[in-house]
Amino acid sequence: MARRAGRGRLSSIEQLPEEAEPIVAWAMQELRARKHTQVDICEEFNKRLAGLAADMGIEIEPISLSSFNRYAIRLAASARRLEETRAIASALTERLGPDQADDLTVMVAETIKTLVFELLEGDGDITPKGAMELARALQSAVSAQSVSTDRRRKVEADFAKKAEDAVDKVAEARGLTAETVEAIKAKILGVSE
């Protein structure tokens, strides 16, 4: 689903009182579990909302099925991107077991994950902000005195290589043009140099 520019109008679910949040979280988990139909979940969701409204002594309008559906789709799209991120990033960083990695290697891996996620989420305008924050953290950790020149070179080369691979993988998944790919690489690698 293409994301509209700006913040967009608040959905009726986003306008529910704060106390309804556990009910929203419950509904999203139910949807994720894929054991009941969305209609059933929405019905139960409104039942719980009505119960809450009665407890609090306020009025809460039931959420319409279409509004519930829009909200669910939006969150599901984001969940899918995270899932894709996991698949792509694990292919790129599979050599790192849970126990054998120092802080720098960890940061390389995390930067790649964030990069992949943000590239998947972007709509052509490429601003991998979070990845850059991590890349900067990596950079400052690398330039700290305690890291030897050799190690520094190795980490930087490793990061550049993985970042390029990540961009290529995402380009493949999203069908980006060669031009866009080059632009992204220039931007990302500009941070590491």
Contact positions vs another protein (CB under 8 A)? 13, 18-19, 21-22, 24-25, 27-29, 32, 75-76, 78-79, 82, 85-86, 89-90, 93-94, 96-98, 101, 103, 106-107, 109-110, 113-114, 117, 130, 133-134, 136-138, 140-141
Which one-letter amino acid corresponds to residue 97? G
Nearer to another protein by Cβ, of 40 and 182: the residue is 40
Distance CA(103)–CA(88), nearest Å, equals: 21
Distance CA(76)–CA(33), nearest Å, equals: 12
DSSP at 57: T
Phi-psi region of 8 (alpha: psi -120 to 50; beta: other; left: phi over 0): left
**To the nearest whole angstrom, how small is the minimum distance from the Cβ of residue 47 to another protein?**
17
3-state secondary structure of 110: helix
Write out the H or E segment, with its range, that includes residue 30.
helix 21-33
**To the nearest whole angstrom, how small is the minimum distance from the Cβ of residue 189 to another protein?**
19
Token pair listed for 135: 């890349």
**To the nearest whole angstrom, how small is the minimum distance from the Cβ of residue 179 to another protein?**
28
**To the nearest whole angstrom, how small is the minimum distance from the Cβ of residue 133 to another protein?**
6
Nearer to another protein by Cβ, of 18 and 179: the residue is 18
